[in-house]
Structure 1
Amino acid sequence: MTVSLPVAARVDLRRQPVEGVLERVEEALHARLDRQTLVRKRRSLGARTERNTWVRIERRGFERIGPQGWNGTEAAAVLQGVAMPEWYQGVAWREPGQPVMWRADELELITSPSVAEGALVLEEPGLSDAWWAALNVSLNALADQQTPRIATPDTVTITQEHVTRTLGEVFPDIADTRLERWVPAHADLTWANVMGPEFSIIDWEDWGMAPQGLDAATLWGNALAVPAVAQRVRRERRADLESRDGKLMALFFLSKIVGPHAYEHDPLLVPGKKETERLLAELQL
């Protein structure tokens, strides 16, 4: 029997009072947060501490927390060979009377900024060859790890059934959606989560096993508005993106761009349609 979890009310932390949350985190972690550095997103907060660390705080409803929990940032501390902030400590609590969990993690402060303010890159970021080499080292090292965790891109557990359903709804001509190789993935490898000029990857809460190519497809897809960057991702991550699984992951990403909820002013829409045609044709060969 499937048990339905209660659904948390939607809350936008960019607009809600958060001082009480910040004070609770300060007390639990014995750290003072610098309010001047506070970054507010829809479901997460971040701020620098007086001891030059970074604290990330997230609110997540029960329905978005699977059996493996949601301590991904803490669990990622064991990864070897991946450029990422060191994890120091964390705390979690339930919001009284609500099907909601809060979590705060204190991490190494990364001084390089995100390559882009949002998920997409909209102009040439001028990344060095050393940056691209470090990306490859980290993604290759990540794929060589072992974990019982399952990735949750967009906080949704990725499964064969989920991929098949998503692709079938948007690309019904794909006859075979079977995925063969699963490897550890960051699962949210957008341009906001990679730093530069010194390379590192942040925000590990959703990492876990995923089809080969998920990370490469996410980084590539979010660069389609800048063809030279998208082409560089394809060149650097050729082994992932030219595999059959990688092509399916590219279409999995594009299903959100060219599917029924396509937005006509989306800078990814026109190049996304072109890439969709290419990928569908290649899968038919």
Structure 2
Amino acid sequence: MHATAAAALNATPTGSREAWGWRGRTLSRPVTTSSGEGWLRLVSAPADKACGKLWEGPQEAEQLMPAAVPRPRLRERRTWTDGEHGYLAELYDKITASTITTHEPILREAPYLDNAWWDELSTALDTIAIVPSDRVTVRQEYLDRAMPQYLGIPIDTKVPAWTTAHGDLHWANLTNPGPTLLDWEGWGRAPAGYDAALLHAYSLLVPETAAQIRQHLGHILSTSTGRFAELVVITELLQTTTRGDNLDLEGPLRARLARLSG
């Protein structure tokens, strides 16, 4: 089906590199086109689920995100159904910088990221936060149910402030040099500080980098809304551990929860 997508978009796969997404849901490869190098990403889903927020996210980001937000630009897209599966093919400009991690969102060793990198990331997050959108990344109803269950403490679950978020800000979606922010499927409204809190949670195995995040994104995290966003992220990631994901993070997440909750 990736070859079918390439033919439909007049693109030719180059080299042997293949980038598989979470649980094989996506397959991406570098391609060449009449306008130069590109990156072709193919998404597969059951036909009855080949629609909705995740399906439309990259296209809506291309339409609504300011050009100043560093991201791969979407050139073309195609959708079709074949039997029981629906497909979405997206042709992007090729990003030459490497992602900071390759196969997982969790950081396991400290990357070298200079002050300029952190400043650019901070500016990008501040810019994203004020983009008007009716897309939803985190729902209040979910927090009302999940936060008491997974945090195990009495807590006011009402979100103190909402802003727009990338929604999946982790180390496999960031490049260096850069930063370029990849994967815009899930962007939308979330508790203020959500992106910074998520990146911080995925850095807890590397205290040096976690400290850098608190330093450079302190204007986001070192606030009451930022601390609430951390509790939201801890809730979500602790829930994933019950499904067998992110198990290495469970101990650090609980330690961070204890610190935040006193």
The two structures have a TM-score, normalised by structure 2, of 0.88
Question: Corresponding residue for 2:189?
Answer: 209
Partner Cα distance (2:245, 2:57) in 1: 35
How much has 1:257 moved relative to structure 2?
4.6
Taking a change above 3 Å as real, the CA distance of residues 211 and 257 of structure 1, as seen in their structure-2 partners, is: closer
2:109 is the alignment partner of 1:127:
no
Query: Which secondary structure does the structure 1 equivalent of 2:183 belong to?
Result: coil
2:146 is the alignment partner of 1:160:
no
How much has 1:125 moved relative to structure 2?
0.3
Partner Cα distance (1:32, 1:26) in 2: 6
Of 221, 224, 233, the match for 2:213: 233
Partner Cα distance (1:116, 1:59) in 2: 23
CA distances 1:189-245 after superposition (whole Å, capped 9, x unpaired): 010000002211011111111111111111000000000111111222223223333
CA distances 1:31-71 after superposition (whole Å, capped 9, x unpaired): 112251221232111111123111111123445844x5622
Partner Cα distance (2:30, 2:15) in 1: 8
Whichever residue aligns with residue 226 of structure 1, its letter is V
Q: Is the 8 A contact 2:38 2:94 kept in 1?
A: yes
Moved more, 46-55 or 234-243: 234-243
How much has 1:256 moved relative to structure 2?
4.6
Taking a change above 3 Å as real, the CA distance of residues 146 and 181 of structure 1, as seen in their structure-2 partners, is: same
Structure 1 portions without partners, runs of 5+: 1-20, 152-157
Of 9, 18, 31, the match for 1:38: 18
Whichever residue aligns with residue 166 of structure 1, its letter is A
Q: Which has the higher strand share?
A: 2
Question: Corresponding residue for 2:90?
Answer: 105
Partner Cα distance (2:246, 2:122) in 1: 32
How much has 1:263 moved relative to structure 2?
6.4
Partner Cα distance (2:51, 2:167) in 1: 15
Structure 2 portions without partners, runs of 5+: none
How large is the Cα RMSD of the aligned pairs? Answer: 2.2
Q: Is the 8 A contact 2:237 2:246 kept in 1?
A: no
Q: Is the 8 A contact 1:115 1:192 kept in 2?
A: yes
2:257 is the alignment partner of 1:279:
no
Partner Cα distance (2:173, 2:219) in 1: 22
Partner Cα distance (2:245, 2:4) in 1: 43
How much has 1:255 moved relative to structure 2?
2.7
Of 100, 104, 124, the match for 1:138: 124
Partner Cα distance (2:116, 2:59) in 1: 28
Whichever residue aligns with residue 82 of structure 1, its letter is V
Taking a change above 3 Å as real, the CA distance of residues 185 and 265 of structure 1, as seen in their structure-2 partners, is: closer
2:136 is the alignment partner of 1:150:
yes
Question: Corresponding residue for 2:43?
Answer: 58
May I ask how many residue pairs the two structures share in their alignment? 252
2:2 is the alignment partner of 1:22:
yes
2:180 is the alignment partner of 1:195:
no
How many percent of aligned residue pairs carry the same amino acid? 26
